[in-house]
Every structure is written in structure tokens, then in C-alpha cells.
Amino acid sequence: MSDEFTLHTSEWVYPSEAVKAAAKIKDYEALSAEAARDIEAFWAKRATETLDWFAPWEKVLDRSNAPFFKWFVGGKISVVHNALDRHIAAGKGDRIAYYWEGEPGDSREITYGWLNEQVCKFANVLKSLGVKKGDIVTIYMGRVPEIIVAMLACAKIGAMHSVVYGGFSEQSLADRIDDAKSRVMVTCDGAWLRGKIVALKDIADAAVARSSTIEHVVCVKRTGQAVNMTSGRDQWWHDVMASASPEAETVQMDAEDPLFILYTSGTTGKPKGILHTQAGYQLLISVTLSWVFDIKEDDIWWCAADPGWITGHSYIVYAPLILGATSVIYEGAPNFPGHDRWWQVVEKYKVSILYCAPTAIRGLMRHGDELPRKHDLSSLRLLGSVGEPINPEAWRWFYSVIGGERCPIMDTWWQTETGGFMVTPLPVVPLKPGSATRPFPGIIVDVVDEEGRPCGPTEDGLLVIKQPWPSMLRTIWGDPDRYVSQYWSHFSHEGWYFSGDSARRDEDGYIWVIGRMDDVIKVSGYRLGTAEVESGLVSHAAVAEAAVIGIPDDVRGHIIYAYCILVAGQQPSDELAETLKAHIRHEVGPIAVPSKIEFVPALPKTRSGKIMRRVLKARALGQPEGDTSALED
């Protein structure tokens, strides 16, 4: 994979005196050393500084049932208390939590006070629908403030949420509903995307029909088109909220009680419900946001992700609210109505910190420097990147054209499973464009070979985390065996977490993430399993067998190529390829549509029948096929 981009390991970019003077955290080395001396004391200190507790913990880290680690055992806490109640009690009800910008140009100012009132009301709505502590509410919504209300309302009463990204289609949504056994779903009539309506409620209806547990649907009116409302099952958000009481109690939770599950893609067709719990999650995400993005009272923070991904859960919803920050949320596409919409938003709200994905940067970079230069971007002081490696060219454009060479770029490496940043600079850390630099203090990361031996500076290896961390996933929902085998069994060392990424660590100890080593593809920053797309293809009657690979792409990072064997009697045609693309769009979602579908008589397989995607990829790229001794014929 290292052929896909060149490492520039010797180029340094140093923080300016102004950045250093402004930064809250001045000494990365001292904090790392403090953590290395006593990792439990390090996190315990931050847990006291950052969060309010109803009752103190008895044990910081319980390793007795590894890898089912427990953090802050015995502590009592609530994320809603830390995100809302304590700010209201401190008289900050009028402070802006979110400036919300709708795609059509409408806007809303969401205060902490309003958010709190809405959360209380919706908590009461959920209770009236029979939702109890430990139940899982499925949330399938656009990027509207109500998605945050819905998530926090679940947390307030001790229920869990499972947010399914609005880009997933009916079968994906149905699978996730069934896996979570959700009785209640919250959705919207539609979402705006590039001036068009994504008909969320229609997709939600189809998913309810294909799944077996939903009894109640609450629907937010956003786009206003006619939707089907099934009587006895569906209710409008505005109707149920009108009569709900604005008084609700925040339930005190155990530190290890579940907070949410979030489905992500793995190496099989079945998505993994990643479980995050209460205390450790809150702690790590708020400390990382505070230190890495240096959030202060007068900052305007914009994490341009979707609340439906972990980036949104951690750094749009929970961490900014815990820190009492003011954030921007923009509903729609970066290129609507023009390719300068993002720069307009930065100018309008005087955004001081912008955190986004390399694919978005590359997409906007293609449209030249003129568009960003038309806007006043001087409010920016820090930038951030997440989701895939950022190539040095995009890094430099982001740094110079968007950041005016003032703003260090925080390239944060992490995963749905890690909950928050693992490898990342702080503003004062010297940067190398394309490297996520070094581990966050308290996170023990290494690059090792298959036997677990540390790799040298010119060797590609596996990225591992060698000590548990507070916001680690706790299990895969309903599948603890898969949790153990997937993440904790790759090495013989107990408590080594296998990330699935390959990386290199250079002579300065800087980490260069290369990419996934498993059958996971990152398309425009979205994580997809080859098996998910393959099973989507095979679910069409014309397809007997399918194999999917990721091919490097300048803007999207990777795009999908699919190879299909047709059932007897079916003829390959361009028309059939288009039909299959439409089928994937419908079954899995627009993000999973292959860029190319090729019909083939056979697929390269091992003698045991496993498809050798590596060989397909080499052929597609015109590269040597490598060791093919395992090939069937």
C-alpha cells in the first residue's frame, strides 16, 4: 500500500510563536512522561479535572477480565449532566451551543438552555413510548439539531442510541434495527443534499417493513414533502413535543453502563455494533478535544462531519457540549450552491477551528484558490484532518490557502472503536505533513511486525495500541467472541489492541498511517467492508458471485471496483452494470456504489475458496501479482 503515496519524513513545519503562546498545553513531553509514570493516576487526575461525578470510583482500571477492561469502576456519572445540566446550573443557559446553518440558507441559534429544555421534553416522549434504561433507540436523521436532542434524550434516561447514517439505505438500516432490537425509531421526513431531498422517511418505512421490532416512529419535519404516516405507529416530533413536560430527571449511571452502539464495517458482511460506555468515553473525548483543538471560551468550533459517525458522536455532540463550547453545524453538501459554501460558512460564523476529512479538502482543492480567497478566513487559528491519510499536496493546500500558513493541522488518527483521538499532534508539536505525529499522552502505540517486534524506521508494520484506554470499545454488541478475536487475538501479548491499519514509524518516532490491511475500504472517508458490497451485489438475482476491491483515487482516497460472475443465462451488458449500481444504491446506500462493475467468468481464489482480492487489485492497477502460489489455477 505504501506505493500509494510517498512519505516525506524529513520535512518539518514548526508552530509559530503566536500558536505556542496561545496554546493551553505547552509541554507535550511532560504530559507523556507523566502518563508513562502512572497511566491510571494520569487518567484519574483528568477525570477529576474535567468531569462532575455523582459518586467517586473505587478502581481506575480493572484488568481482571481482559480484554473486557473496565474503567472507573464504582463511579456514578451522567454525560447529560456534564454536557448540559452543570452548564445550566452555572448560569450558562443563554450561551450558544450550536450555530446551525441549513443547506437552503436558513439558520438557527441553539442555546444550552433551549437544548436542555428540548432534551428534557424528548426524554419524556421516549419514556411515554415505553423506552427504558438499556433499550436501544435507532436514530436515522439528517444533520438537524433534533438529532442531537434525540441522542442526548436517550442518554438522559439511560437508554442507548444507535445512530444510522442517513446515507445508508433500507436493508442496511433494517439489519441494524434487527441487531439492536430497537422498538423506537426517530427519523426525519427528509434531508437536504445538494438542493434535493433525500427521502429519509420513505427509506425508514421500507426498513421497518423489512425488520421486525419497531413499534413507534417519531418523525421530524424538515423538508416538508408529503410522507406516509402509519397510524398507531408514526407520530410527528412537533406533535409529541408540544404536550411533553420540560421537566425530566437525569438518570445517574454506573461508569461502565452502556452509552451507545454505533455500527461500523468489518471484514464480514455483518456490521459490528461498537459499544461505548459512560465514563471513560466522556473523559477521553473531552480531554482530547480540549488539548488537541485547544478549545477556549471564545472559539467557534466546526467539526464538519456527520453526527451519524463516530467523529460526530464524539466531536460534534458529546465533547464540545461537555466543554461548554460553541460549535457550527452545516446541514448540507460542501459544494452547494457553489464550491465555496464551506468558506462562506467559515466567514459567516467566524469559525476559529475547522476539522474535516482529507477527501473534502481534495474535492474543494480541485476548484482552485480563487473561491477560498474570495472569503475572509482570517478567523481560523487551527485546522484538523481525520478519516484517512492526508496526502502532502492536500496538506499544503489546506495549510497555505485555507489556513494562511498560520494554522497548524491536527491530523488525528483514530477509529470508531477507539472513541477518540489516539495518534495526534497538539498545537505546540512540530508537524510533518502527512504524519499524525505521535500518540496522545496516555496512549501507548507501537508499530510492530506480525510477531509483535517493533519495526525499524523504514519498515511497514501493524499499528497496535499496547495498553487499554478510557474510551476503548467495550465489546461488539451481541458478539463478545468476535470482539476478542477481531481486536485482541492478533498477538500473543495480552491486552494488545490490533487496529487493522498498517503504519510506519520514522526515525523521529513520528507515525505515518498507511491504510487498512484488511478487507475494509475507505471511500471518501467512509468505511465500507468489501463483504457488505459483495453481499449487496449477490442479493441481485443476476449475480452468482462478486468480489470488490478499493482502487486509489485522487479525490476520494479509494473508489470501488466490483467483479461479478453472472448466473447462467444472464448476459453482461452496460445496462446490467447500471442496474446493479442502482441496486447497491438501494440496498446498501449511495456511498457503496461501485465506480466500475466488470463481468468476469471466474475470480482468482485460493484452493480453500477464499477470493484473492490482492490479485484482482494488482491486475486492475497493472502491477505485478506477487506470490500467487496459493492460487487455485
Interactions with ligand WT7, residue window 252-291 (CB under 6 A): 264
Stretch that binds ligand WT7, among 144-152, 158-166, 387-395, 570-578 (CB under 6 A): 387-395
Beta-sheet strand order (sheet of 258-264): 234-236, 216-220, 184-188, 136-140, 160-163, 258-264, 272-277
Compute the least distance from the CB of residue 522 to ligand WT7, in Å. 6
Compute the least distance from the CB of residue 143 to ligand WT7, in Å. 16
Distance, CA of 586 to CA of 52 (rounded, Å): 45
Q: Where are the beta strands (DSSP E) in 554-625?
A: 557-566, 596-599
Compute the least distance from the CB of residue 212 to ligand WT7, in Å. 28
Interactions with ligand WT7, residue window 295-314 (CB under 6 A): 310-311
Stretch that binds ligand WT7, among 38-46, 130-138, 316-324, 513-521 (CB under 6 A): 513-521
Compute the least distance from the CB of residue 498 to ligand WT7, in Å. 11
User: Is residue 76 near ligand WT7 by the rule CB under 6 A?
Assistant: no
Comparison of 77 and 287: residue with beta carbon closer to ligand WT7 = 287
User: Is residue 340 near ligand WT7 by the rule CB under 6 A?
Assistant: no
In sign, the C-alpha dihedral spanning 25, 26, 31, 34 is: negative
Compute the least distance from the CB of residue 54 to ligand WT7, in Å. 30
The upper half-sphere exposure of residue 491, i.e. CA atoms within 13 Å in the direction of its Cβ, equals 23
Structural Rg of the chain based on CA atoms: 24
Stretch that binds ligand WT7, among 218-226, 381-389, 399-407, 530-538 (CB under 6 A): 381-389
Comparison of 192 and 526: residue with beta carbon closer to ligand WT7 = 526
Compute the least distance from the CB of residue 602 to ligand WT7, in Å. 31
Interactions with ligand WT7, residue window 491-510 (CB under 6 A): 499-501
447 in Cβ contact with 454 (< 8 Å): yes
User: Is residue 414 near ligand WT7 by the rule CB under 6 A?
Assistant: yes
Encoded amino acid at 160, one letter: M
Backbone angles phi, psi at 204, to 5 degrees: -60, -45
User: Is residue 411 near ligand WT7 by the rule CB under 6 A?
Assistant: yes
With a CB cutoff of 8 Å and minimum separation 6, the contacts of 557 are 358, 359, 388, 522, 523, 524, 525
- Tracing cell 416512529 back to the chain, one arrives at 217
- Tracing cell 455532540 back to the chain, one arrives at 317
Comparison of 235 and 502: residue with beta carbon closer to ligand WT7 = 502
The three three-digit cell numbers of residue 247, written as one number: 421537566
Stretch that binds ligand WT7, among 30-38, 288-296, 411-419, 443-451 (CB under 6 A): 411-419
From 35, 47, 218, 436, residue interacting with ligand WT7 (rule: CB under 6 A): 436
Comparison of 292 and 380: residue with beta carbon closer to ligand WT7 = 292
The upper half-sphere exposure of residue 94, i.e. CA atoms within 13 Å in the direction of its Cβ, equals 1
Compute the least distance from the CB of residue 497 to ligand WT7, in Å. 12
From 387, 403, 427, 439, residue interacting with ligand WT7 (rule: CB under 6 A): 387
User: How buried is 342 (Cβ within 10 angstroms: 0-12 exposed, 13-18 middle, 19+ buried)?
Assistant: buried
From 83, 513, 543, 548, residue interacting with ligand WT7 (rule: CB under 6 A): 513
Strands 409-412 and 445-448: unpaired
User: Is residue 434 near ligand WT7 by the rule CB under 6 A?
Assistant: no
The three three-digit cell numbers of residue 563, written as one number: 467483479
- Tracing cell 453526527 back to the chain, one arrives at 307
- Tracing cell 433525500 back to the chain, one arrives at 198
Interactions with ligand WT7, residue window 530-589 (CB under 6 A): none
User: Is residue 388 near ligand WT7 by the rule CB under 6 A?
Assistant: yes
Of 295, 342, 345, 347, the C-alpha closest to 321 is 295
Backbone angles phi, psi at 7, to 5 degrees: -85, 130
Comparison of 548 and 580: residue with beta carbon closer to ligand WT7 = 548
Comparison of 409 and 543: residue with beta carbon closer to ligand WT7 = 409
Binding site for ligand WT7 (CB under 6 A): 264, 310-311, 386-389, 411-416, 436, 499-501, 513, 515-516, 522, 527
